[in-house]
């Protein structure tokens, strides 16, 4: 009995991460358009070190914005913290432990913010 094939190409050096449904790069995906589940309106800020060699990263989840809005917010947060970072799967990652700075900036923008984790 053959195994069902649910996988396939997930990453390409030319296109980056690939959509499992339409097998196109995520930037050109036509089937999902990077749909995210609707949140509860609360932005959660946490600090994480897992899988990063002990280096701290500040994570911002639950921002209701499209990809361009997330990228713009990430740019502002990185500039305010004076560090690098990225946006992955709707989560903003800022390098370093900048939870208080990020929370203050988001509250100043008028967002409902909670600190997640320890």
Q: Which pLDDT does position 118 carry in this prediction?
A: 64
Q: Which pLDDT does position 40 carry in this prediction?
A: 74
Band (pLDDT 50/70/90 cuts) for residue 92 is very high
Task: Write down all domains in the chain, each with its CATH number in brackets.
Answer: 10-36 (no CATH), 40-115 (3.30.780.10)
Model-wide pTM > 0.85: no
Q: Which pLDDT does position 81 carry in this prediction?
A: 92
Question: Pick the residue with more confidence: 14 or 78?
Answer: 78
Counting beta carbons within 10 angstroms of the beta carbon of residue 95, is it exposed (0 to 12), middle (13 to 18) or buried (19 or more)?
middle
Q: Which tens digits make up the pLDDT trace of 27-86?
A: 777 775 555 555 677 899 999 988 888 889 999 998 888 888 899 999 999 999 999 999
Q: Which pLDDT does position 37 carry in this prediction?
A: 54
Return left, alpha or beta for 16; rule: phi > 0 is left, psi -120 to 50 is alpha, else beta. Answer: left
Tell me the angle at which helices 99-108 and 67-81 cross, rounded to the nearest 10 degrees. Answer: 120
Question: Pick the residue with more confidence: 63 or 10?
Answer: 63
Q: Which pLDDT does position 67 carry in this prediction?
A: 83
């Amino acid at each position: 009995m053959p195994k069902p094939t649910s996988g396939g190409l997930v990453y390409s050096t030319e296109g980056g991460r690939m959509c499992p449904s339409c097998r196109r790069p995520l930037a050109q995906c036509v089937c999902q358009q990077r749909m995210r589940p609707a949140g509860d309106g609360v932005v959660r800020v946490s600090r994480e070190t897992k899988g990063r060699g002990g280096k701290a990263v500040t994570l911002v989840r639950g921002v209701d914005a499209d990809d361009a809005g997330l990228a713009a917010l990430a740019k502002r947060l990185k500039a305010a913290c004076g560090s690098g970072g990225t946006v992955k799967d709707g989560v903003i990652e800022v390098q370093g432990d900048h939870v208080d700075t990020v929370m203050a900036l988001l509250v100043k923008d008028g967002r409902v913010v909670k600190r997640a984790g320890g």
